[in-house]
Amino acid sequence: MIPVLLILVPLISGLVTLFLRQEKVSKTWALFSSVITLAIAIFGAASANTSGNLLAFDASWVPTLGARFTFGLDGMGKVLTLLTAIAFPVIFASTFKNRYSGSNAFYGLMLFSQAGLMGVFLAMDLLLFYFFWELALIPVYFLCSRWGGERRIAVTWKFFIYTFAGSLLMLAGILYLYYQTPDHSFAMRSLYNIELTQRGELFVFWTLFIAFAIKMPVFPFHTWQPDTYEQSPTAVTMVLSGVMVKMGVFAVLRWLIPIVPNAAVRMSDVVIIFSIIGMLYASLIAIRQDDIKRLIAYSSIAHIGLMSAAMFADEGVATQGVVIQMFSHGINVIGLWIVADLIEQQLGTRKFSELGGLAQKAPTLAILFVVMALANVALPLTNAFVGEFLMFNGLFRYNHWMAGIAGISIILVAVYTLWMVQKVFYGEARTGVEMIADVSPGAKYMLITLVLVVIVFGVYPQPLINLTNDATKILAQLK
Amino acid sequence: MMFSGILVKHHAALKNIAIAGLLVLLGLNVGENYGFALFDINTTNMLHFERFGLLFNSICIFSTLLFVMLSGKDVEKVGNYTAEYFALIFFILCGIGIVTSYVNLMMLFIGIEIISIPSYILTGSDKKNLKSNEASLKYFLMGAFSTGIMLMGIALLYGTSGTFLVERAAAQTPSISYLEAMGLLLLFISLSFKVSLAPFHFWTPDVYDGAPTVFTSFMATIVKVAGFAAFIRLFESRYGSMGSQTERLIAIVIVLTLAFGNLTAVFQQSVKRMLAYSSIAQAGFMLFALFSLNDAAKEGLILYAAAYCLATIGIFAVLVKMEDGTFEGFNGFGKSQPLLAGVLTIFLLSLAGIPLTAGFFAKYYMLASVVKTGNNLGLVIIAVLFAAVSAYYYFKVIQAMFFKDGDVSFPAVTSRFKYLMVAVAAVIVILGIFPNLLLQFMYF
């Protein structure tokens, strides 16, 4: 029951939002519905895995194809639906002051994308998964192109065509898989038990992996990402980097590795090397950025690179680390975006060269931002440390050298993140920055909430680890 | 059988009579599908009505109905011979009824001609427009030529088997002779011409662009999918004996068609021309049905026909009313007509094959049919890449409508028109979630 609610609540309230013409009303309604979704998600995450219909749903869809409406909420699903459910109210509340022309459409589309994301994380049927995968993309396309920066149209177009091409490749892979299942179905169970020839496995691996890699994005498929993050309205960027890129990582863990484990092992070297190149490359570029948004975008690529390397390290701990890190990174990056958005809204610039000394005028903001930045560096006692430690642990067991080279990025992350803090908040105050007011209450409480999440899960990560145990168990069973 | 119903309405002078006639036809056709026939005619082995053909007829009649309801007013604006235009449309429907159900090659020929000749006339119906005249003449000359090729093909087939019957000819000759192969090849070429597959597509952009936009809408959709029905019926019976040679031939044609249609559509400035080229690309996708020839292919063709017709007719219904048919002409359309722009978006998404629209399942079935045949994954990859290219130009329209500012000169439309458009969009979305609602008619 819960999975259906998680999808239907945002979907229906999104439809309702389209008809709420008044700006204030549509905003409040969107916030309200996302809080309800959050409550449902928390309830779902807290309920134990019992048999029965609480956490699962199954209904006929296209009988002649063998496709079914099958949803389920397992450990990994719980973590990610929770992330999605937390992200949206935080985004709505922290950007509550921002004004959008045609706000009913804006909030309606935001809620649609939430429904799509939930569907991706809950679908237990591959065709259904594909459906939601695309559905999450379409609203974001409209959001970015309509409300983004001045280069928005060209940038989002590139983003869309890129991901759409990836999705279609995935469709080819899905079709191939479909005809290989003995009972002609898309159900996860029958796909997990599939036996493929070596060539077949490789075909499926590459068609699916390219689609997921574009979404994550992994080097060399990352070129759409910095532009899109920069040009999108910040609320949408938060959705994109906080939640949506996790779709790719999640899909690899849920579908790719379990279905074609042999190909995944065979190709792991290639994927890991590309991921590590991406990490270092993105970190180096991040150091040279003069724009907060672009810096965070490149930092995101570096983090995702580590996740994708760790996934293919074929170690239980690393996988668990990835799932935990998906959650932590989502929280942290949204925190960073909130600050970036506050600065941009108030001062009208995102350039480091025009900022500096903000801490004098906005001390609270500075403190909160520093905590977020430290979490981005994955300092111990922040939530990101747990995941990162597990991932490096797994990577180290896989190959010492690769782990060593990947480790360079830890230093680079510290370099650019601290640099950013320094240039924006400390140093001499530039002209123009005096206008900054300290944080507005809405954004303040949201940032404090995020900081609390960062610290609580940093000190006591056990709940997350418990939740993610079964994700790794499934992978272990397959061997 | 249900046939004579088609000819009766030929004096229809008004849109409403046409609508009434179409409704009656549709009712009869659906009834026939459920085994309820008004009267029985012995067609003496000329025609054979079965599920596939009847369902196809239903789709064509239904699309025509929509076409008349949405664009009937614009048909009246073309010239002074409204009654004749409608009559010609009914003739074409009659031809479609024949080509979806023929078992005799002579009937195929007659059906194709009944479709073609009214099409030539409709293309040239805007008599004072030089482009329309040119298009008509071009279409006629090329069409006549391809008809000649078709006759030659039929003659060769007759020469080898001594019969015009499709089924019997196939049964008699287990292995195929050169003469027969040649005949089939010629038939293939002439039908390719009719449905505008590369490299026999050159007439298409000029004709679609030159013809009055309302009739372009009709020809690019209903007439075209009917051609595919003819294709399927022909090759279904003969294909088994042809082997991998035809498969390779069709694969080449598919790739050429997709490449040409998609790549040229990208560079068009006018939406009408873009749709003309994209209709070539869509034809390439429909040809997959012929390539794989299995159940999935037939289901896919049905779905494709429905999805493609509905979406394209819808887009044209708006395009006809536009004064400026370029991409810029759509700038700001989302602001001035939010509802219609939203509906158009659904049509375009469907043509691009985005999930939740009928177009997705149409493409899905087509690709599935190819994967089912086994070893043609390369072709599938090429097809999906071109599908991504097609998203490029369909989204150009969406971009213009929503993200660019501009003044659109768009005449006021009745609310009936709007409701109808919304209804069509709803059908597309519903088929996009539950394709079985349509496909069940093939089995039940």
Quote the minimal CA–CA distance from A65 to chain B in Å: 9
For the segment B412-420, the average pLDDT, to the nearest whole number, is 82
Highest mean pLDDT: which range of A19-23, A95-99, B142-146, B157-161: B142-146
Residue A187 pairs with which residues in a beta bridge? Answer: A125
Tokens of A293: 């948004």
A19 near B CB under 8 A: no
Give the tens place of pLDDT for each residue, A147-158: 877 788 888 888
CB contact under 8 A, A160 and B395: yes
Q: B322 or A478: which carries more pLDDT confidence?
A: B322
- Name the helix (H) or strand (E) containing B296: helix B295-321
Lowest mean pLDDT among A106-120, A286-300, B48-62: B48-62
What was the ipTM of the complex prediction? 0.86
A84: amino acid identity, one letter: T
* Distance, CA of A235 to CA of A98 (rounded, Å): 9
Closest partner residue to A153 among B367, B377, B403, by Cβ? B403
- Name the helix (H) or strand (E) containing A72: strand A67-72
CB contact under 8 A, A161 and B403: no
Check if the beta carbon of residue A300 is closer than 8 Å to that of residue A288: no
Spatial neighbors of B21 by CB under 8 A, at least 6 apart, are: B8, B9, B12, B90
Give the tens place of pLDDT for each residue, B184-234: 888 888 988 888 887 888 888 888 888 888 888 888 888 888 888 888 888
Closest partner residue to A172 among B381, B391, B403, by Cβ? B381
Task: Answer whether residue B11 shows pLDDT above 50.
Answer: no
Instruction: Evaluate the CA torsion angle A382, A386, A389, A395 in order and state its sign.
Output: negative
Q: B156 or B44: which carries more pLDDT confidence?
A: B156
Tokens of B348: 């375009």
A181: amino acid identity, one letter: T
For the segment B327-349, the average pLDDT, to the nearest whole number, is 84
Task: Answer whether residue B174 shows pLDDT above 60.
Answer: no
* Distance, CA of A159 to CA of A153 (rounded, Å): 10
Going by C-alpha positions, the residue among B395, B123, B357 that lies closest to residue B278 is: B395
Going by C-alpha positions, the residue among A84, A75, A86, A48 that lies closest to residue A456 is: A86
A426 near B CB under 8 A: no
A69 near B CB under 8 A: no
Tokens of A163: 């991901």
B431 near A CB under 8 A: no
pTM of the model: 0.88
Check if the beta carbon of residue A244 is closer than 8 Å to that of residue A215: yes
Q: Specify the length of chain A in residues.
A: 479
Residue A56 pairs with which residues in a beta bridge? Answer: A72
CB contact under 8 A, B399 and A157: yes
CB contact under 8 A, B402 and A175: no
Give the domain ranges of chain A.
288-479
CB contact under 8 A, A63 and B436: yes
Angle CA(B283)–CA(B289)–CA(B291) in degrees, nearest 5? 100
Give the tens place of pLDDT for each residue, A373-389: 888 888 888 888 888 88
* Distance, CA of A182 to CA of A185 (rounded, Å): 8
Amino acid B149: pLDDT: 92
Interface test with B, best of A171, A185, A203, A208 (most B CBs within 10 A): A171
DSSP string of B366-402, one letter each residue: HHHHHHHHSS-HHHHHHHHHHHHHHHHHHHHHHHHHH
Instruction: Determine the residue of chain A that is closest to B395 in CA distance.
Output: A157
Q: Which chain B residues touch A112 with a CB distance below 8 Å?
A: none
* Distance, CA of B289 to CA of B253 (rounded, Å): 13
Q: Give the largest Cα separation in chain B, rounded.
A: 65
Closest partner residue to A131 among B356, B368, B403, by Cβ? B356
Interface contacts (A, B; CB < 8 Å): 73
SS3 label, residue B262: helix
CB contact under 8 A, A161 and B388: yes
E strand map for B233-352? none
Confidence of residue B355 (pLDDT cuts 50, 70, 90): confident
Check if the beta carbon of residue B106 is closer than 8 Å to that of residue B164: yes
SS3 label, residue A63: coil
Q: Alpha helices of A123-151 — where are they, by DSSP H? A: 126-147
Spatial neighbors of A411 by CB under 8 A, at least 6 apart, are: none
For the segment B66-78, the average pLDDT, to the nearest whole number, is 79
Closest partner residue to B355 among A135, A157, A169, by Cβ? A135
Angle CA(B62)–CA(B345)–CA(A18) in degrees, nearest 5? 110
Neighbours of A161 (CB within 10 A): 16
Tokens of B315: 């887009």
- Mark residue A66 as left, alpha or beta (left: phi above 0; alpha: psi -120 to 50; beta: remaining): left
